[in-house]
Chain A
Amino acid sequence: MASQEIEALASALARLPGLGPRSARRAVLWLIKRRESALPQLLAALDTVRQNLVECRTCGNVDTTDPCGICADPRRDARALCVVEDVADLWALDRARLFTGRYHVLGGRLSALEGVRPEDLTIARLLERVQAGGIDEVVLAMNATLEGQTTAHYIAERLEDLPVRVTQLAHGLPVGGELDYMDEGTLAQALRARRPV
């Protein structure tokens, strides 16, 4: 039977995404063995995060400043706005450095069954940002799941009367994919999204 302290740490770690009780206990043991070397580093890193990280009130990104580095960057194209479900999606897109505009994090996706309604997401704030002017294009970068696509449709609908161009990430063949291996759904999407060459 582990001590109360160890159990408390293990149960706190177990709540991390992708961890679970078994991995958490293993992580605790690993940390205890490295009390002197690894633990101080981890504590310092955690404390920095706790003290310095804030949510950007403009886009919803997490950074050390508000507005965040992306929103404050004058080299970014203020006329293009990319809407994503979660901060992790923003990071994934920005890692690729392909999009030069700014972002808007919704904080989830619409789901009637899970009780996530439009007012639970930052859709009203997105509309305000667009209404304030200066944005020419809104890129909807939702997941290709049913909930993601429902959210994209919904936002497109809400933006309909505003003077912006609304675009969406293309769905279809993955890079390096072979036609022979695609399911009909993917092929149908790819056919619908075909374009002149």
Chain B
Amino acid sequence: MPLTRLTLRDFRNHAATRLDGLAMFNVLVGENGAGKTNVLEALSLLAPGRGLRRAQPAEMAARHGDGSFAVAVEMEHGEVVLGTHTQPAAPGRRLVRINGALGPAARLAEWLSLTWLTPAMDRLFAESAGNRRRFLDRLVLARLPGHAQTSARYENALRERNRLLADDREPDPAWLEALESQLAETGAAIAAARADLVADLGAVLETLPEQPFARPSLAYASDTPIDAEALRAALRQGRRRDRAAGRTLTGPHRDDLAVRLAAKDAPAADCSTGEQKAMLIAIVLAHAQLTAGPRPRLLLLDEIAAHLDPLRRAALYERLAASGAQVWMTGTEPAPFAEIAGEAALWHVHDGVVTR
């Protein structure tokens, strides 16, 4: 069992929540606002990044607590403990603790791989490319823990270069050179990792039928050279243009995940809401199949099951069960989960209190 226990303290509307006896399927049922998604959000903090709501740590602390919160999970029956918390004196700074020792959040990815789908992602294909890059990076991270560090280093170098370019003074060429060489190294690695993942996902999706989940075809839309030397040359060449724009116009921070509905060969953004959602599920399921490996995997599916017809729902459960991932799902009613009632742990959530 990937996770065996989850505890929340002063996390959003959960004053003290403890979930023991977790199963491969964990279902949280309750009214809107009861605190189901908060449990998924707490779990999502056990991956590098800002979690599934992209909220600030201070917003996550319970209103009636001391301003801090704590989330912890146990794996392998307490042998491994991952946690994240804030302190009352510094509610904006989230700390990560792995087996009792504080460490960088990027390390979490070495222990757990996490993917999620939320209603907020329903419009992912029609939204800005930034959200799709984040989605893609989360998928990459699930199999390449170092991707978080590479990305952080890239972002850092990018901010430095943009600041130099936006300066009134003419930027120092040797300084630009120094930053570009690091941008090239990390940027090429990021582009290569994303392209690899998209290719591998595509190969898995190829093998799937058109139904019941509309099959997407994926492409990594990128002008970024995957070779560091070529990216470095492109950055050097683009200096004048970038200086005029006040920011860097070449690199993986400009790339996109292009998704089309295979059957109609239409851009995903032009498809129906139902088709878009089905394609997202197909991607996440293909990814779950792809990343089967030594690290425990968690799939957080917020409000997914209720919106599927019985046929798709049955197919979803079947594929989830085969994926080997621990699955967390939410819903307002227990009925859609009847088919997996035998193997699932069902929790009722009411006003921040969770009962079995």
A residues in contact (CB < 8 Å) with B:
110-113, 117-118, 146-147, 149-154, 157-158, 181, 183-188
Which among B150, B153, B160, B164 is the interface contact of A184 at CB below 8 angstroms? B150
Contact A185 B150 (CB under 8 A): yes
B181 within 8 Å of A (CB atoms): yes
Q: Are A153 and B149 in contact (CB under 8 A)?
A: no
B168 sits at the interface (CB 8 A): no
Q: Are B177 and A157 in contact (CB under 8 A)?
A: yes
Contacts A117-B172, A146-B156, A153-B177 given; 14 further ones with Cβ under 8 A? A112-B163, A112-B164, A113-B163, A118-B174, A146-B182, A150-B157, A150-B160, A150-B175, A154-B177, A157-B174, A183-B146, A185-B146, A185-B150, A185-B153
Q: DSSP majority for the B interface? A: helix
CB distance from B249 to the nearest CB of A (A): 18
1/0 contact string of B2-31 vs chain A (CB within 8 Å): 000000000000000000000000000000
Q: Contact flags (1/0) for B30-58 with A, using CB distance below 8 Å? A: 00000000000000000000000000000
Q: How far is the CB of B123 from chain A (nearest CB, A)?
A: 33
Q: Are A157 and B178 in contact (CB under 8 A)?
A: yes
Task: Kindly provide the distance from the CB of A15 to the nearest chain B CB, expressed in whole angstroms.
Answer: 17
Among B146, B160, B178, max chain A CB count under 10 A is at B178
B234 interfacial by beta-carbon distance below 8 Å: no
List A contacts of B156 (CB < 8 A): 146
16 residue pairs of the A-B complex, CB under 8 angstroms, read A111-B160, A112-B161, A113-B159, A117-B172, A118-B174, A149-B178, A150-B179, A150-B182, A152-B178, A153-B177, A153-B178, A153-B181, A153-B182, A157-B178, A183-B106, A183-B146
CA distance A190 to B238 in the complex (A): 31
B242 to chain A, nearest CB (A): 14
- Give the chain A neighbours of B167 by CB distance below 8 A: 112
Chain B residues, Cβ within 8 Å of A113: 159-160, 163
CB-CB < 8 A to B75: which residues of A? none
Main secondary structure of the interface of A (DSSP, over half): helix
Q: Which of B298-318 contact A (CB under 8 A)?
A: none
* B146 touches which of A110, A151, A154, A184 (Cβ 8 Å): A184
Would A154 and B182 count as touching, CB distance under 8 A? no
B258–chain A nearest beta-carbon distance, Å? 26
Minimum Cβ distance to chain B for residue A21 (Å): 10
Q: List residues of chain B with CB under 8 Å of any chain A CB.
A: 106, 110, 144-147, 149-150, 153, 156-157, 159-161, 163-164, 167, 172, 174-175, 177-179, 181-182, 189
* Given A153-B182, A157-B177; A146-B157 close (CB under 8 Å): yes
Please indicate the chain A residues that have their CB under 8 angstroms from the CB of B157 in the complex: 146, 150
A160's nearest neighbour on chain B, judged by CB, is B174
Q: Which B-chain residue is minimally distant from A21 (CB atoms)?
A: B89
The answer to whether A184 and B144 touch across the interface, beta carbons within 8 angstroms, is: yes
Q: Please give, as numbers and ranges, the residues of chain A lying within 8 Å of B178 by CB-CB distance.
A: 110, 149-154, 157
CA distance A154 to B167 in the complex (A): 18
The docked-state distance in angstroms from the alpha carbon of A192 to that of B290 is 28
Q: When the two chains form the complex, which single residue of A146, A152, A185, A187 contacts B160, counting CB atoms closer than 8 Å?
A: A146
A108 to nearest B CB, angstroms? 14
Is A184 in contact with B175, judged by CB distance below 8 angstroms? no
From A113, which residue of chain B is reached at the shortest CB distance? B163
CA distance A131 to B149 in the complex (A): 38
Which of A152, A153, A186 has most chain B Cβ within 10 Å?
A153
Nearest residue (CB) in B for A153 is B178
**A150 to B31 alpha-carbon distance, docked (Å):** 52
- When chains A and B are docked, how far (Å) is the Cα of A185 from the Cα of B149? 7
Chain A residue, CB-CB nearest to B175: A154
Complex Cα gap A154–B171 (Å) = 13
* A residues near B189, Cβ cutoff 8 Å: 188
The distance in angstroms between the C-alpha atoms of A59 and B106, with both chains bound, is: 37
- A118 to B177 Cα, complex, angstroms: 14
* CB closest chain-A residue, reference B171: A112
Is B175 touching A118 in the complex (CB atoms < 8 A)? yes
| Chain B residues whose CB sits within 8 angstroms of the CB of A158 once the complex forms | 174
CA distance in complex: A118, B169 (Å): 13
Q: Which residues from chain B contact A157 at a C-beta distance below 8 Å? A: 174, 177-178
B103 to nearest A CB, angstroms?
Answer: 12
Contacts of B163 in A (CB 8 A): 112-113
Which A residues are CB-close (under 8 A) to B110?
181, 183
CB distance from A157 to the nearest CB of B (A): 4
Give the residues in chain B near A149, CB-CB below 8 Å. 178, 182
- How close is B239's CB to chain A, nearest CB, in angstroms? 15
Query: Within the complex, what minimum Cβ distance (angstroms) separates B182 from chain A?
Result: 6
What residue in chain B is nearest A149 (Cβ atoms)? B182
A158 to B174, CA, bound (A): 7
Asked if A110 and B144 make an inter-chain contact with CB atoms under 8 angstroms apart, the answer reads no
Chain A residue nearest in CB terms to B107: A183
Q: Which residues of B contact A154 (CB under 8 A)?
A: 174-175, 177-178
